[in-house]
Structure 1
């Protein structure tokens, strides 16, 4: 028996752009990507929900040749060439001191800043989990801008933290190459699980 899937509110062309036809790029053209384009992406995806509106994602854009030369030795060997060719690279990190940006009168919980300040290292797991959510929003936002993202966890995280995030409460989580696809940019698409393997209705 064939099950009818309801139509979504999002237009099919937008569904294709964000999901069905979106791919992870492994090579890039020389068309530039500017920090202003990523600011526009962030201005869209910042509305994605996080626990208590914690917003722990921090973005470090590697744009200059000098900064890239510091990053490349810290990438896994298989990721080095594509990171070298990407027009722009984003280091996505989690900030365990996210509470410092809370307003002094936090809606519904006015003592939130003080509460999190007293948690110390216990903030880090919350920051990491919610940064993971925001990383997903960021990748979809890059696609919404008509750009292609190549997210990677194959890098020396401790080295990246020391080289780019020293003196901060940030820890690197994912590095994303951003640009327009070049020649032979895509690997074969791997299968996705169907709904019946994922969704349980109780």
Structure 2
């Protein structure tokens, strides 16, 4: 404001600073800042072009879409530039629920033998598992992956796992088979603990566990 008034009305700088209650150092700081070239002009232009194609892309998709054009910028800078350019997200996705494999009783529900006793001094005796959903972006599109790990409660080591694009029984069964083979050296009865979701109630899953000695 001080700079503009001085250019238009040619007021003495000292008088303008007194009226605006600005220090001389502050005045020259902003003069130099206004005259500084915009180093992000090219990135900003590309972001504006992307926003015309993807009208509601937030900063995460924007980072991925910039990468596709050979521009690698961290998400904090993208957030700052979007705020500067006024690229607000006007439509929000509803927060998705955490994946829950439990769909009620669809097969055999095993007894809870651990009863929250999640510690053991014996390797490969107590194994726990669950399906975890992860979200990621591919070419600006949100996608999901499902991780099926088997964890040894002796040392919290992941002894086997399988990743799939859908929550399938086959992925769980593949990881289970590997876990069974790796823990077969245990001299004690093994316990495989899960949340008793639909896949863990299936006949094939229960049969595999019961067939182990």
Normalising by structure 1, we get a TM-score of 0.22
TM-score, normalized by length of structure 2?
0.21
- Max Rg structure: 2
Structure with the bigger RCO (C-alpha within 8 Å, sep 6+) is 1
